[in-house]
Structure 1
Amino acid sequence: MLVIAHRGVHTAVPENTLAAFEAAVALGVNGIETDVRISLDGLPVLMHDRVIAGQAVAELTRRDIERVAGHEVPTLDEALEQFSGILWNIEIKTTKALSSVIRVIEKHQAGHRIVVTSFRHDLIAICASSLLVNCGLLVAHRPTTLNYLLADFDCDGNPRVNHIVWDYEVLEESLLKQAANDGFRNFVYGPMTKMEHDYCRELGVDGVITDYPLLAQNA
């Protein structure tokens, strides 16, 4: 089971920063999950929240975002430049981020292991047809069947769409098995206790995206 640090390791430093990513690498995790938004000056910045201190990230320049956040905010390009020897799970937060993310990944895809994910499954279809990396569907609800989940997803059978990233709250063993049988890798985000990390391992999931990587490593 891969251990993927959710927004890096941020117990002592801000999340989604180069320092958080460095801490994750030092801890020996298999991968890092990060979030991409677009700043007012058109940069793919690594920020999870849509609004910080009452101001929309999309309405602020990168420097203004850093001023409001109180710390340096890296771009996707900067993070990939600095950390090439680890799996990157890159979540696209908005449609406006798509073109910038694609340009950056095109630059780095030959030398990195990358999985691009989004709750916007239409964006994943575009990434799968535009890039040479793995792609995945983020899922925060429990579909009746896997076919129901995929019914409205237009990927034309693209083999690059090969991951499903499930919210821990909606884990269902039968769906995990069906997804695995259909060739998908199952990732899970949100486990919090050692018991929950152990449960993910028992279910045979391929990776956990976690704020508590030591609990997964010790599972």
Structure 2
Amino acid sequence: MSISIKDKVALVTGANRGIGKAIVESFLNHGAKKVYLAVRNPESTQALEAQYGDRVVTIQADVSASDSIKRLADQTSDVEIVVNNAGILCLASPLDENVEEAFSKEVNVNVFGLLRIAQSFAEILERNKGALVQLNSIVSMKNFVGVSSYSASKAASYSFTQGLREELGEKGVAVLSVHPGPIATDMGTESGIENGAAASIVSEGIVKALAAGEFHLFPDKMAQQMGSAYQSFAENVILADFSV
């Protein structure tokens, strides 16, 4: 189903920097009526508030805490597009001593965070005929050793995103799974990425993918290479209607 950004009310988690900030800017540039900035530290969005005035509203929220996300939903019942962008990355390989601790932290934010968002906003998005956008990654499809635990957490979030597509789709809610490759953000720098694509490639891609009613978005050059190889599997397995 096609979703236009123009005149919509949106909410972006992790909206203060990187891809999240770029999504806020793209949405507003494409005519969004209002964007809620859901962040752990409300002071971190002062620059966006100064630039966009009352078109943005900052709300303190933490996707790692169920109560926080329930309160967030209570305060944003007019939202039509929810973008779950917030996530964490821990550098851990399968044989590292810290891999269990790293994976546990990432699952709580990257996987359970998605579920908390989906459960808290499902009725709102159904009522408002809206969309849920989940920031996954190309690492959800291929495990990269240096960020192995992160890859595993994103594989789990991508799997849940597929389930949400079916369940929310029946309620008239669009779901978009976004799979960027190397992007020039603070998180990208942490993981050793050099010469990553601009975050605006992701944010502008989201606007276009929502308008086109797509489920997968592979926004940058590396992601598109993987998406091209993945296309047949996606069409014949992920998007296929299998009767159980």
Q: Is TM-score (shorter-chain normalized) higher than 0.5? A: no
Higher percent of residues as strand: 1
What TM-score, normalized by structure 2, do the two folds share?
A: 0.36
Structure number with greater CO (CA < 8 Å, separation at least 6) is 2
